[in-house]
Structure 1
Amino acid sequence: MLDHALSQWLDAQAQALDLGQCDPQEVIARLATARVLRIGVPQNQGGSGGTAVDAVEGIARVARHSLAAAFVFWGQRAFIEYLLHSPNTALREQLLPSLLSGELAGATGLSNAMKFLSGIESLQVRAREQDDGWRLEGRLHWVTNLRKSGFVVAAAIEREEGGAPFVLAIPDAVAGLQRSDDLQLMGLQSSNTAALDFKQVEVSRDWLLHDDARVFLPAVRPAFLGLQCGMAIGLARQALSEVDGHLQDHRSILREPLLEQRQALEQTVDELKSGLLDGRFLAQPRALFQIRIGLAEAVAQALQLELQASGGKAYLSEYGSGFARRWRESAFVPIVTPSLVQLRAELQRQSRTAAV
């Protein structure tokens, strides 16, 4: 169960978080106070124990109240996961306590890198090696959780001199790093989502997460996508719960599709959890891609069913504001990186390669 105080706050602020009328600085602080950022983190590293599956459920529970808050949660928790996988123990010991306490915001910054891993686009930040580190140039066009009071962002970096790309954690205070104004999104506005420009940014070797992105990215991809799936799971569950609330008559024609959708959703969730626990997604990313696509489709179907169950009330401001927000939230699920188009393109590419 989600902390009661956090649930109440999310319900009260859900509309404001979506429209940008709530101070985005508060989101991480509220999540940290409720200790949800510690879910799935080993106890000996400051966490509450459990696995990535527990963290997925944590994000799903938040998403039932607010996808904007769940989006921030995902960004913070994904960065924490990068630290847990990094061989740089000194950096982990330095950053993890302030990330878990909410003092520092962690931004994933690896959406471009995940597309690079699938051959969809090139890396957008380049590095020239120096004696004590690197000098960076480039731009990340869309990064979430860039909290103005302090953040650290992960990025995959292309070497100008050639060789394997690598992954850095980059603190916000370095000279030459410029954060844009928050992007004007259709919803999820209180998520501190902006662009980052790198202009002769110097970063020391102390901030290295991994020296080979082609090794590190496949290792963290199951958590990156699995935690992201928590957003879709929570939103679909909430929409189906709203449907249930509208159906007073057990003979309603919508009762059967509600039960079918709920069963199909939980079956997909079970497949996700099983794959995360047994590690199969490391060698079979295709299966994870298909689950991600299936959950996005489940969200769309659940919102359609909620609309049908709500009827005309969905278009009355007095009754339909929650539905309107969930409808906007559902539009984000197919396009968050990697988007459904990108995933389907990758699945098609893999099928062609296997057929050769």
Structure 2
Amino acid sequence: MTPANGPMSWLGFLSPEDPVRHLGPAELEAALLEGLGSADDEAAFAAANRLALEAFRAGSQATTTGICERQIAYAMAVFQRHGDARIMAFGLQPAINLLRMHGYAGDLAASMDALRALETIADGAPARVFGLDVPPELAASRGKWAVVMRKLARSTCLVESAKIRWRRGRIAEMIEESRRMLAKWPYVTSTGPFHASEAALLAGVGDHGDHVGKPGVAPMLRRIGDIHRLAHSVSAVSETAFDLAVRLHETRHIGRQATPSSATARQLASIGDSFFRLGNHPHGTTCFGEAHDLAVEFDPRLAGLIRDRWSAHAGLSAVPPRRETASLDAARLTRLAAIAAGRLDPGGSRPGG
């Protein structure tokens, strides 16, 4: 199976991820300027990470790369001068951003190398990932920030190994790698992240999704498994499938506060799609409407994807108008990237000390 011909090919993973709330250009620029102007490295790195994301979404891989490499160089310089483990934890995120950029739309081999390096870091061993050198003494440390780094590296492997391979159409490899990581870190079926657990379900390979029914599995993962099973079963319209769809919609509020709205929107959209495929347009319309309203707040691009799928079932006249997804224009991106480069100058003095 490839993403092009499965019932979930239009939507992808349903597992929760860290939410990134959509901001208009003026509000976003103000927030980025505040972060980049802060003497606190954590605030500056958070702003630079968001700026790199906006540059990637705008199609500027060069700007994205420049921002991330500047962050990594700054983190390495500060670590070498001050031995600050905290800054290395901050520096790992831009390396992960580069991994995603290359994995989704760039140098796939580089992203695979980075995933292997991250797994090495997660195991407590030294590795280099996109210029960030994690030395042996930090890799094996029991200190707070070393633990943070290992946890972030492990979570990234569990999420991005599956997502990158799904997007690249490497489905058999995605399932095999996910199975390997679940054997290595079996507890993630109860703690998350759930992407490795979801991979076989997304591809419709039921025998590899049996772990979802085992004791101790998180309720959210069970729900995701049910949504996937519904999507893969509605080709044979049955009362059982309809009852499952109704139950999934009626229980949509359970645990919602702990679920980022973008993930909730994806789950509702999948249920709505299944309702339409079952021939129940009223229920499908309700689910798609709720999904669209949630997605607009967090991810207008996802809202557009949901709207397009909804209109394919119901027609353009039945769906809301398309929302504009204004973002930072090229001039703003260039100006903010220059500010970020100045704030994160590896050769300069560290703000506040």
TM-score when normalising by structure 2: 0.25
TM-score, length of structure 1 as denominator length:
0.25
Compare the two structures and name the one with the higher helix fraction: 2
Structure with more of its chain in strand, by fraction: 1
